[in-house]
Structure 1
Amino acid sequence: MAAAVTAPPYAAAGAPRRRLLAARPLGRGAALALAPAARTSSSSVTRHRRGSWEDVARRCGGRTEVASVDDDEACELVSGADLVIGGDGDDGGGEGDGVRAYLLKAVKNNNGTGVLLLSDVFGFEDSATRDFAYRVACHGYNVLVPDLFRGSPWKKAEKDGFDAWLAGHAPERVSGDIDGCTSWLVDEFTAAGVSRKLGIIGFCYGGGRLVETLARDGGAGAGAYSAGVCFYGSRMDASLAPRLAAPVLFVCGDGDPLCGVETVRALEARARGARAAVYAGRGHGFAHRPQSLEDDGDAEDAFALMRGWLHDHLLA
C-alpha cells in the first residue's frame, strides 16, 4: 500500500493526485530540430516497467529511437544522442575538455522545452537515470543528462572510500560543467526561440547541485530556469533558499538519512514558490530506484507530481 504523502496545495483536495495530474493536457508542438552543436553517436536506452527492465531500443538511421511500451503514454518515439558540450570535443576527461552528455528528445509530441537532469553519484550512464530521463522525454520534453563526474562515477554499493572519491570532484569544476550545460540549453532552446522556459531536475547528489545552480541563476525573473524538481537532494544548503531563482518541488521520504525532512521543510518555507512532498516510510532513491512494491507505487505518484509541476510552470 502506498505511503501517505503531504500533498502540495496545487493538488485538488480529495482527488487522487496521480489521476488528477495524469489528466492534465500536455503541450504539443512540432518535432524539434536541434542544431548539430556537438558530435552525436547512437546509444541504447532501457525502459523500466513495474520493476523489470525491457530493452526497447531500435536502431534507426544512425541514431537510437526508443518505442514506447505504454499504450497510455503521449509519445511513441524518443530519440537519443551522445553529445560533447564545450571544449574541443576530446573525450579524455581532463578539466579542459568538453562535458559528455546524453540528450533524449520526444519525436512526435515534442513541446520544445529543454530540461537539465542532474544525476545521482552513479552518473549519467546509469540505467536508472537513463530510464527516468526517457520517461520525462516521453511526455514531450528534451532532456539533457550531463556527465557530472567526467567518466568517474561512484560504482560501489558500500560507502568505503566514498568521501575520498567525492573529494576528487571539485565543486567548482562540477558547477562550471553544469553552467556550461545551462548555457548550451539556453542557446539551443531559449535564444533560438524554440522555448521560453527551461526546467531542471536533480536526484540525490544532483539534487543538492540543483539548489546551488538555482541559487546562482540570476534571481527571480532573470534566471535561465523556470522550474525545478529536487528528488531527495543530498548536501543541500537550506541557507540558499531565498536565492533560488525558480519554484522547486522537493520530493523525499521521511526515512531517508541522506535528505533530512527538516532541511526540505526549511527550503520549502524560505524559497519562493517551493512545495514539498514527503512520503511516509520511503527511503533514499525510491522515486528512480524503487526496491519494493510500496516504493514502486510511490515512485509512480512522485512522477505524476513532477509531471504536473513541470506542466504548470513550463507549459501552462
Structure 2
Amino acid sequence: MTSYPPGACCYQGVKHEGQATGSISKLNDFEIYTTYPVDKSTENAILLLTDVIGHRFINAQLIADQFAANGYFVLIPDLFHGDSVPLNKPEGFDFGKWKAGHGPEKVDPIVKASLQELRNKYNSKKIGAVGYCFGAKYVVRHLHPEKGEIDAGYLAHPSFVDADEFKALTGPVAISAAETDFIFPTEKRHESEDILKTLGTPYQINLYSGVEHGFAVRGDPKNPVTRYAKESAFLQAVQWFKEHLGA
C-alpha cells in the first residue's frame, strides 16, 4: 500500500455553504453531477472522483463548480450506487463492512462508463481526474493516457492506493498531502515519492502544514490555516491541469 485503507477520518468534517450550479442526471444505472464552464465547452474535462460522502455532497459539488469556473466541464459519478456514507456518521458504523461492498469490481465499471461518456457523448479531448480520499485509488487505477483513459491526475489525501497500482500509472500526477494524516502518513508519502522517481512521468507533491486528512474537501473554512490549505490545494490542481490539459 502507498496509503492505508480509509478510516473514520474519511467521513468526518464540515459541510460547506453555497448553492451548486450543476445538475443531476442518470448515466446507465447510476447518477452523475455535471457542471459546465461559461463557454459550455466540453473539450477539456475533469472527472471528479469523490470521497465516501459521494456526489450529492455539497462540498464536492461546489468544488466541481469551481473547476468549471476555471474552464473545465466536470462530471462527478455516484461511485456507490446510492450507498454513500453520511457526513459525520455516528460511532458504531461498520465502515469495514461498507468498504467490502464497494471494491474495484463495483467502482471500476462506473469509472470506465464515465470516461466513455466523456469521450463519446461530450467529445472531450483531454480528461483530467481529481481523486479525493477514496476516489484517489481510482484515479491511479485509470491514469493511462495511452489507453484513452485519464490524461492527468490529481490526488488529495489519498487512501487505499495499492503500491502495484501506483507503479503501473503512466500519466502525470500531482498530490496534496496533509501534515497530520494517519492514512497517508510520512512513510507512505515517501514511498509514493520513491515510486514516482522511477516512473519517468511528471509529478508534484505538496505538503500542507497544520491540516489533517480530508482538509481539501471537508476542512473547516472558518479556520484560517485550513482555509488557506484548502484553497491552495485547489489552485495546485488547477495549475496542474492547465499545464497538462490546457484550457
Matched, 1:247 2:164: no
Identity of aligned residues (%): 29
Which residue does 1:85 correspond to in 2? 27
Unaligned runs of 5+ in 1: 1-50, 58-65, 67-79, 87-97
Which residue does 1:93 correspond to in 2? none
Q: Match for 1:180: what amino acid? A: A
Q: Deviations over 1:115-145 (max 9, x none)?
A: 1000100111011111111111111111100
- Counterpart pick for 2:17 among 39, 53, 57: 53
Separation in structure 2 between the aligned mates of residue 129 and residue 113 of structure 1, nearest angstrom: 19
Q: Match for 1:300: what amino acid? A: E
Residues 240/196 of structure 1: CA separation in 2 closer, same or farther (3 Å cut): same
Separation in structure 2 between the aligned mates of residue 241 and residue 166 of structure 1, nearest angstrom: 20
CA contact (8 A) 2:50 2:133 kept: yes
Q: Match for 2:162: what amino acid? A: D
Separation in structure 2 between the aligned mates of residue 266 and residue 178 of structure 1, nearest angstrom: 26
- Counterpart pick for 2:104 among 149, 171, 178: 171
- Counterpart pick for 1:135 among 52, 60, 66: 66
CA contact (8 A) 1:112 1:140 kept: no
2:68 aligned counterpart, secondary structure: helix
- Counterpart pick for 2:114 among 171, 181, 206: 181
Separation in structure 2 between the aligned mates of residue 157 and residue 230 of structure 1, nearest angstrom: 27
CA contact (8 A) 1:223 1:245 kept: no
Residues 262/188 of structure 1: CA separation in 2 closer, same or farther (3 Å cut): farther
Counterpart mapping for 1:60-99 below 5 A: 66=21, 80-86=22-28, 98-99=29-30
2:217 aligned counterpart, secondary structure: coil
Which residue does 1:76 correspond to in 2? none
Which residue does 1:207 correspond to in 2? 136
CA contact (8 A) 2:179 2:207 kept: yes
Q: Match for 2:95: what amino acid? A: F
TM-score where L is the length of structure 2: 0.83
Deviates more, 1:240-249 or 1:131-140: 240-249
Matched, 1:238 2:163: yes
Counterpart mapping for 1:1-316 below 5 A: 53-55=17-19, 66=21, 80-86=22-28, 98-108=29-39, 110=41, 112-155=43-86, 156-158=89-91, 160-189=93-122, 192=123, 195-214=124-143, 217=144, 221-271=146-196, 272-291=201-220, 292-315=223-246
CA contact (8 A) 1:230 1:250 kept: yes
Separation in structure 2 between the aligned mates of residue 207 and residue 269 of structure 1, nearest angstrom: 18
2:54 aligned counterpart, secondary structure: coil
Separation in structure 1 between the aligned mates of residue 92 and residue 234 of structure 2, nearest angstrom: 28
1:175 aligned counterpart, secondary structure: helix
1:221 aligned counterpart, secondary structure: helix
Q: Deviations over 1:209-238 (max 9, x none)?
A: 222222xx4xx6344221100011111112
CA contact (8 A) 1:118 1:201 kept: yes
Which residue does 2:8 correspond to in 1? none
TM-score where L is the length of structure 1: 0.66
Query: Which of structures 1 and 2 has the larger relative contact order (alpha carbons within 8 angstroms, sep 6+)?
Result: 2
RMSD: 2.1
Q: Match for 1:269: what amino acid? A: D
Separation in structure 2 between the aligned mates of residue 159 and residue 301 of structure 1, nearest angstrom: 34
**Higher-Rg member (1/2):** 1
Separation in structure 1 between the aligned mates of residue 120 and residue 139 of structure 2, nearest angstrom: 20
